[in-house]
Amino acid sequence: MTLFSKMPQIPRKDELLDKAFQRARKVKKTIDKHDRINSIREYEQNKISTVSTVISVTLDNILEKTPKISNLDPFHKHLVELVIDAGQFKKSLAALKWASRFNTDIGHKYRRRLKGTPLKSLAPVRKEYYGRVSSILKQIKKDLLFLEDCRNILKKLPTLKNLPTVVLAGYPNVGKSSLLKSLTGAEPAVQPYPFTTKKILLGYIDEKIQVIDTPGLLDRPIEEKNKIEMHAMLALQYRANLIIYLIDPTETCGYTIEQQKSLYENIKASFEETPILLCATKSDLSPSKTSRGKSKTKDTPYSLSTKTDEGIDTLKKRLLRSIDWKTYSFKPISFKSPPKRK
């Protein structure tokens, strides 16, 4: 179940009109021989009611089941604003509301009008109403299309659980998604090129810790970050109880240790309230020089490899052990001594 999974499919203008007119075609025609005009009038009124109801019920259902962006928590609100034009989304929903109300109003108006209409004009008046309804829907044609496009994007957004949360961050291609897979068993795409991960991915350690894999970040000011990088920044800003910063000392990721170290220092400074754990990836490729040797940051990184699983189990255990369940924060993690057995 995702945040927008209840948002109903948005019909195109013609689909909605066809649905309404088809339903109206099924209205039963029972003619009372003694009161022909009134029974035909009632028949035409029922057709108008049917069209009006189908349209308003469909539009109202969309309005009711679409979450209000302003009511979302800050993380999901910003995430939505990143992937769709939230201003236009609001305007299009307002247009649907207008159309629903206007449609109901003119439905009432035309049913009243039928009361004083002579027999031969009953069907033409009802047809005139059909024309009015078509023109209302024509005015929201683009809004319907836009909202359906948005729905297709929004229904794929992740819904985060309320659990202690670790955010994996680092340069592209350093092994973040591989670590998510090793820690949680999630199945993210892993490829030997940068920016494989384009959005936020989730995994869970023993259903106790939520792990967020993020797109790679480049070391540049926030104003210059692209939309893909901004997914990572939002996770760091709003959801990280602990940041695991991954550094690839083998530089097979395509970025130098210096670049990676500089981003590490920037992230530390930008999110100074959040504890940060420095991990050196791909220890299988250069076991001797991974952590202490080359990385040149004053913090000693913890070495691990998702190929040989070096360091993975210990990391998992330390994470589970360091949760403070009162605050969902993580106590400082140290790897100097082996984890105590219970």
| Contacts to ligand GTP by CB under 6 A | 172-178, 190-192, 194-197, 215-216, 281-282, 284-285, 305-307
Of these partners, ligand GTP, Mg ion, none, which one is at the site of residue 260 (CB under 5 to 8 Å by kind)?
Answer: none
CB of 340 to ligand GTP, least distance (A): 27
Give the DSSP letter of residue 198: -
Least distance in angstroms from the C-beta of 203 to ligand GTP = 12
Closest contact distance (angstroms) between CB of 80 and ligand GTP is 22
CB 154 within 8 A of CB 3: yes
Residue 309 gets the label, from left (phi > 0), alpha (psi -120 to 50) or beta, of left
* Ramachandran class of 296: left when φ > 0, alpha when ψ lies in -120 to 50, beta otherwise: left
C-alpha span between 279 and 260 (Å, rounded): 12
Q: Pseudo-torsion of CA 328, 332, 334, 337, nearest 10°?
A: -80
CB 263 within 8 A of CB 282: no
Residue 281 touches which member of Mg ion, ligand GTP, none, C-beta under 5-8 Å by kind: ligand GTP
Shorter beta-carbon distance to Mg ion: residue 134 or 259: 259
Rounded distance between C-alpha atoms, residue 221 and residue 319, angstroms = 30
CB 255 within 8 A of CB 175: no
The least CB distance from residue 294 to ligand GTP, in Å, is: 16
Q: Which is nearer to ligand GTP, 291 or 306 (CB)?
A: 306
**234, amino acid identity:** L
Per CB under 5 A, contacts with Mg ion among 170-199 are: 176-177, 196-197
Please state the closest distance from residue 197 (CB atom) to Mg ion, in A: 3
Give the one entry of ligand GTP, Mg ion, none that residue 164 binds, where binding means its C-beta sits below a cut-off of 5 to 8 angstroms depending on kind: none
Shortest distance in whole angstroms from residue 297 CB to ligand GTP: 18
Nearer to Mg ion, 176 or 282 (CB): 176
Q: Of 164 and 215, which has the nearer Cβ to ligand GTP?
A: 215
**Residue 47 or residue 231: which is nearer to ligand GTP going by CB?**
231
Task: Pick one of ligand GTP, Mg ion, none as the site partner of residue 100 (Cβ within 5 to 8 A by kind).
Answer: none
Looking at the Cβ atoms of 108 and 156, the one nearer to ligand GTP is 156
- 231 forms bridges with which residues in the sheet? none
DSSP codes joined into one string, 2-45 = -TTTTSPPPPPHHHHHHHHHHHHHTS-----GGGHHHHHHHHHH
The residue ranges that bind Mg ion (CB under 5 A) are: 176-177, 196-197
